[in-house]
Structure 1
Amino acid sequence: MPKGLNVHTEIGPLKKVMLHRPGLDMVYFGDEDFDRVWFHDALYLERAQEEHDRFAELLRQEGAEVLYLEDLLKEALDADPDARGEFTNTYLAESRLPGKEYAAAAREFLDSIEDTGEFVKRVFRGIRRKEVELPHRSAHTLAELDATKDDPDSLIDPLPSSYFTRDAFAVVGNGVNMSHMYHYNRNRETLLGETIFTHHPEYRGVPLWYDRKSSFHTEGGDVLNFGRHTLAVGLSQRTEAAAIDQMAQNMFWGDEECEIEEILAFKIPASYAFMHLDTVFTQVDVDKFTVHPNILGTLKVYRLTPGATKGEVRIAEIDDTLEHILEKALGIDSVQLIECGGGDPVLAAREQWNDGSNTLCVKPGVVCVYERNVVTNDLLCKNGMKLLVVPSAELSRGRGGPRCMSMPFWREEI
Structure 2
Amino acid sequence: MSTPINVFSEIGKLETVMLHRPGNELSNLLPDELQNLLFDDIPFLEQAQKEHDYFAEVLQAKGIEVLYLEDLAAESLRNKDIREKFIKQYLDEANIFNQTLKTKLQEKLTAIKDNRELVDKTMAGVQKVELPKYKAVSLTEMMDNSSPFVIDPLPNLYFTRDNFATVGHGISLNRMYSSTRQRETIYGQYIFDHHPRFSGKNIPRVYDRNNVSQIEGGDELILSEKVIAIGISQRTEAISIERLAKNVFDRKLGFNCVLAFNIGQKRKFMHLDTVFTMVDYDKFTIHPEIEEMLEVYSITPKNTGELKIAKERGRLEHILAKYLHRDSVQFIRCGDGNQTAAAREQWNDGSNTLAIAPGEVIVYDRNMITNKALERAGVKLNYIPSSELVRGRGGPRCMSMPLSRKSLTQ
TM-based fold match above 0.5: yes
Distance 2:243 2:195 in 1: 26
Distance 2:209 2:247 in 1: 13
Counterpart selection for 2:221 from 186, 199, 224: 224
CA contact (8 A) 2:29 2:155 kept: no
Shift of 1:162: 0.2
In the alignment, residue 64 of structure 1 is paired with which amino acid? Answer: I
- 1:241-270 per-residue CA deviation (whole Å, 9 max, x = no partner) reads 1111111221223xx442221111000021
In the alignment, residue 207 of structure 1 is paired with which amino acid? Answer: P
Distance 2:2 2:390 in 1: 31
Match of 1:403 in 2: 397
- 1:341-390 per-residue CA deviation (whole Å, 9 max, x = no partner) reads 01011100000000000000000111000000000001111111111101
Counterpart selection for 1:190 from 185, 198, 203: 185
Alignment pair present for 1:303 and 2:302: no
Shift of 1:336: 0.5
Match of 2:337 in 1: 343
For residues 202-351 of structure 1, the aligned pairs below 5 Å read 202-204=197-199, 205-253=202-250, 256-310=251-305, 312-351=306-345
Match of 1:93 in 2: 92
Unaligned runs of 5+ in 2: none
CA contact (8 A) 1:168 1:220 kept: yes
Match of 1:56 in 2: 56
CA contact (8 A) 2:22 2:49 kept: yes
- 1:32-58 per-residue CA deviation (whole Å, 9 max, x = no partner) reads 111222223111111111100110111
CA contact (8 A) 2:18 2:402 kept: yes
Q: Indicate the larger mover: 202-211 or 347-356.
A: 202-211
SS of structure 2 residue aligned to 1:274: coil
Q: 1:93 to 1:339 in 2, by over 3 A?
A: same
Unaligned runs of 5+ in 1: none
TM-score, normalised to structure 2's length? 0.96
CA contact (8 A) 1:323 1:335 kept: yes
Q: 1:101 to 1:290 in 2, by over 3 A?
A: same
TM-score, normalised to structure 1's length? 0.95
Alignment pair present for 1:110 and 2:109: yes
Distance 1:108 1:390 in 2: 41
Counterpart selection for 1:363 from 328, 338, 357: 357
Shift of 1:315: 0.5
Distance 2:83 2:375 in 1: 48
CA contact (8 A) 2:3 2:169 kept: no
Distance 1:135 1:387 in 2: 52
- 1:188-244 per-residue CA deviation (whole Å, 9 max, x = no partner) reads 111111110100111124211000000101100000001122111001110001111
Shift of 1:308: 2.1
In the alignment, residue 19 of structure 1 is paired with which amino acid? Answer: L
In the alignment, residue 259 of structure 1 is paired with which amino acid? Answer: G
In the alignment, residue 315 of structure 1 is paired with which amino acid? Answer: I
Match of 1:385 in 2: 379
- 1:129-149 per-residue CA deviation (whole Å, 9 max, x = no partner) reads 11124455x83x4224435xx
For residues 67-78 of structure 1, the aligned pairs below 5 Å read 67-78=67-78
Distance 2:48 2:141 in 1: 37
Q: 1:135 to 1:23 in 2, by over 3 A?
A: closer
CA contact (8 A) 1:99 1:143 kept: no
For residues 76-155 of structure 1, the aligned pairs below 5 Å read 76-78=76-78, 80-136=79-135, 139=137, 141-147=138-144, 150-155=145-150
Distance 1:340 1:145 in 2: 47
Distance 1:300 1:350 in 2: 24
Shift of 1:106: 1.2
SS of structure 2 residue aligned to 1:71: helix
CA contact (8 A) 1:341 1:348 kept: yes
In the alignment, residue 228 of structure 2 is paired with which amino acid? Answer: L
Identical-pair percentage: 47
Match of 1:37 in 2: 37
Alignment pair present for 1:178 and 2:173: yes
For residues 23-34 of structure 1, the aligned pairs below 5 Å read 23-34=23-34
Distance 2:272 2:286 in 1: 10
Q: 1:307 to 1:2 in 2, by over 3 A?
A: closer
- 1:248-302 per-residue CA deviation (whole Å, 9 max, x = no partner) reads 221223xx44222111100002111111000111011111111000111111111
Cα RMSD of the aligned pairs, angstroms, is 1.4
CA contact (8 A) 1:105 1:134 kept: no
In the alignment, residue 299 of structure 2 is paired with which amino acid? Answer: L
In the alignment, residue 123 of structure 1 is paired with which amino acid? Answer: T
Q: Indicate the larger mover: 193-202 or 256-265.
A: 256-265
Q: 1:359 to 1:2 in 2, by over 3 A?
A: farther
Distance 1:60 1:297 in 2: 38
CA contact (8 A) 1:105 1:133 kept: no
- 1:97-153 per-residue CA deviation (whole Å, 9 max, x = no partner) reads 2422221121111011111111011011111111124455x83x4224435xx3311
Distance 1:45 1:116 in 2: 23
Distance 2:229 2:110 in 1: 42
